[in-house]
């Protein structure tokens, strides 16, 4: 599998989603490292790499379009914000989106963040309702609850950090946190690539 990955990278080298330069999914010229953005939802402290605009927005749209090289670039950047003792839990996408992309974006982000930071990865959530938040207005986003459940009956007080690509209203993160807490997890924080202006 590792050999196949090398062949694919040679045939299709990573390209910046913003400018097309060969090298990585989002280059440092288009999205230089800057101060992170802190935000809060009703029960979580959140950290984002950037605002959902410009090169960051183009990169996330490329990720949603199926670009694994972009997932790697963004995930490694998220890994700088994670600590070794963290347990990273990705926010799962819908089955339909996973099939169309060939992967789950948040899971791939969390895998790369875990590899960079040494944090443990735990795919503890699954979607029980297949409705995506993308395209919904603020009221519909906030009303969407009960869409996730824990894959584990008991998480034994583990402290987990949610990982996702974009946070707009925070309702998806809160929904995931509620599902994990019902299984005994302690959920106080979230890491996302970008923070969108509230719709």
pLDDT (0 to 100) of residue 13: 87
Instruction: Tell me if 131 sits within 8 A of 96, measured CB to CB.
Output: no
Domain edges within the chain: 38-195
Q: Residue 134 pLDDT more than 80?
A: no
Confidence of residue 154 (pLDDT cuts 50, 70, 90): confident
Contacts of 20 (CB under 8 A, 6+ apart): none
pLDDT (tens digit per residue) in 22-71: 999 999 999 887 789 999 999 999 999 999 999 999 999 999 999 999 99
pLDDT (tens digit per residue) in 135-147: 555 555 555 568 9
What number does CATH give the domain 38-195?
Answer: 3.40.50
Q: Residue 113 pLDDT more than 60?
A: yes
Does the reported pTM lie above 0.85?
Answer: yes
Q: What is the DSSP string of 122-174?
A: ---EEESS----TT--HHHHHH--S-EEESSS--TT-EEEEEEEEESSSHHHH
């Amino acid at each position: 599998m590792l050999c196949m990955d090398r062949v694919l990278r040679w045939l299709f080298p990573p390209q910046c989603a913003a400018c097309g330069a060969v090298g990585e999914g989002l280059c440092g010229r288009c999205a230089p490292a800057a101060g992170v953005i802190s935000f809060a939802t009703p029960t979580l402290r959140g950290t984002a790499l950037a605002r959902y605009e410009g090169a960051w927005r183009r990169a996330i749209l490329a990720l949603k379009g199926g670009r694994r090289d972009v997932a790697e670039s963004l995930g490694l950047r998220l890994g700088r914000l994670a600590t070794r003792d963290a347990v990273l839990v990705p926010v799962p996408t819908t089955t339909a989106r996973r099939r169309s992309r060939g992967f789950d974006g948040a899971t791939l982000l969390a895998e790369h963040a875990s590899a960079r930071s040494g944090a443990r990865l735990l795919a503890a959530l699954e979607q029980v309702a297949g409705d995506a938040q993308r395209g919904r207005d603020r009221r519909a986003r906030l009303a969407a609850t009960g869409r996730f459940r824990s894959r584990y009956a008991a998480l034994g007080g583990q402290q987990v950090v949610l990982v996702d690509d974009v946070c707009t209203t925070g309702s998806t993160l809160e929904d995931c946190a509620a599902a994990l807490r019902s299984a005994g997890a302690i959920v106080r924080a979230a890491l996302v690539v970008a923070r969108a202006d509230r719709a």
